[in-house]
């Protein structure tokens, strides 16, 4: 039996550069893994080449259900088997805490955790480069979760430069109870004729992470597009997080989660208390995950 955590992530910064010939977009982003997320438990057993996934939902909202065969974990198992020849039957228990379509990388993290776990469990010991190739096939955010921590991420999501995880910060996550579709979010951004905000250079972005969150020059290119489309909820949530003492507040990924970065841990806890009354919301205080992806 093997247990593994699948942490959530936030994007401290997310600049969308341009649409590529393959339909994806080049990004420049700062990812931060959190000490909070899903967990998976792997057991060998059952018929050869079979894989049974049992999911428990620790998410207080309706409708968040994925059929086992549509689960990205199932796809990760299939790809790993093709590459490694590992065919033993598998029983996987997945405890979901990260909501779907939340910009927190839940599915991507589950997929990366599956690759790491199977690499250990099977004894195949594929090199990291091989796991990265599988991760890229599974989704743009999956390669990041093979290493986690903090990283400057570019390309489609496959170029990852590890950064020092900032210390002493509390993160308040506010998931507003609705799903954001990444593909549609990119389409909305492509259709937007406004000039994109000029981004800082890679060096400046990386250097800023060592400074105070209140001074971070980070932004998320999806936010103005969503606001222009009438999604005022994001403006309201970010304003509320700042009012409650966040040194920095932003949208994660292509939504829908907003987060606040607090230097004052007690202010972060008070902020969560303030949001508690909002039905259908998930709000929690978490810490950045300083360690690599351990099993």
Query: Which positions touch ligand C5P (CB under 6 A)?
Result: 24-25, 27, 139-141, 156-157, 182-183, 186
Give me the catalytic one of 5, 75, 96, 141.
Answer: 141
CA distance 146 to 160: 10
Tell me the C-alpha distance between 141 and 194, whole Å. Answer: 26
Q: Which residue is nearest to ligand C5P (CB)?
A: 140
Of 16 and 116, the one with the shorter C-beta distance to ligand C5P is 16
DSSP 277: T
Within 45-149, strands assigned E span 51-57, 90-96
Residues 6 or more apart from 219 whose CB is under 8 A from it? 13, 14, 15, 197, 199, 250
Determine the Cα–Cα distance for residues 13 and 250; give it in Å rounded to an integer: 8
- Closest contact distance (angstroms) between CB of 15 and ligand C5P is 11
Q: Smallest gap, in angstroms, from Cβ of residue 190 to ligand C5P?
A: 9
Residue placing its CB nearer to ligand C5P in the complex, 15 or 246:
15
Residue 174 vs residues 49, 246, 257, 282: alpha-carbon distances, Å: 40, 12, 6, 6
Nearer to ligand C5P, 44 or 229 (CB): 229
Rank residues 222 and 234 by Cβ distance to ligand C5P and give the closer one. Answer: 222
9 tagged catalytic: yes
Q: What are the tokens at 250?
A: 């932003």
Tell me the closest approach of the beta carbon of residue 129 to ligand C5P, in angstroms: 19
For residue 96, indicate whether it is catalytic: no
User: CA 287, CA 52: separation in Å to the nearest integer?
Assistant: 32
Name the residues annotated as catalytic. 9, 141
């Amino acid at each position: 039996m093997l247990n593994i955590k699948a942490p959530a992530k936030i994007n401290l910064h997310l600049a969308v550069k341009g649409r590529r010939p393959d339909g994806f977009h080049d990004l420049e982003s700062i990812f931060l893994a959190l000490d909070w997320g899903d967990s998976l438990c792997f057991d060998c057993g059952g018929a050869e080449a079979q894989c049974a996934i049992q999911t428990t939902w620790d998410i207080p909202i309706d409708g968040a259900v994925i059929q086992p065969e549509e689960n990205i974990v199932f796809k990760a198992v299939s790809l790993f088997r093709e590459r490694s020849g590992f065919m033993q039957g598998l029983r996987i228990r997945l405890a979901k805490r990260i909501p779907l379509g939340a910009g927190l990388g839940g599915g991507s993290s589950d997929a990366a955790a599956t690759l790491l776990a199977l690499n250990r469990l099977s004894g195949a010991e594929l090199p990291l480069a091989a796991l990265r190739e599988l991760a890229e096939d599974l989704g743009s955010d999956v390669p990041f979760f093979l290493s986690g921590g903090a990283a400057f991420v570019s390309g489609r999501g496959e170029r990852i430069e590890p950064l020092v995880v900032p210390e002493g910060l509390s993160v308040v996550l506010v998931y507003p109870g609705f799903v954001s579709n990444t593909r549609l979010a990119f389409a909305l951004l492509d259709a937007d004729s406004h000039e994109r905000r000029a981004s800082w250079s890679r060096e400046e972005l990386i250097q800023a992470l060592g400074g105070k969150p209140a001074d971070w020059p980070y932004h998320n290119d999806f936010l103005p597009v969503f606001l222009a489309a009438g999604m005022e909820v994001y403006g309201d949530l970010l304003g509320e997080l700042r009012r409650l003492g966040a040194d920095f507040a932003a949208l994660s990924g292509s939504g829908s989660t907003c987060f606040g970065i607090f230097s004052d841990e007690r202010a972060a806890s008070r902020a969560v208390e303030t949001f508690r009354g909002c039905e259908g919301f998930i709000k929690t205080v978490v810490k950045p995950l300083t360690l690599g992806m351990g099993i």
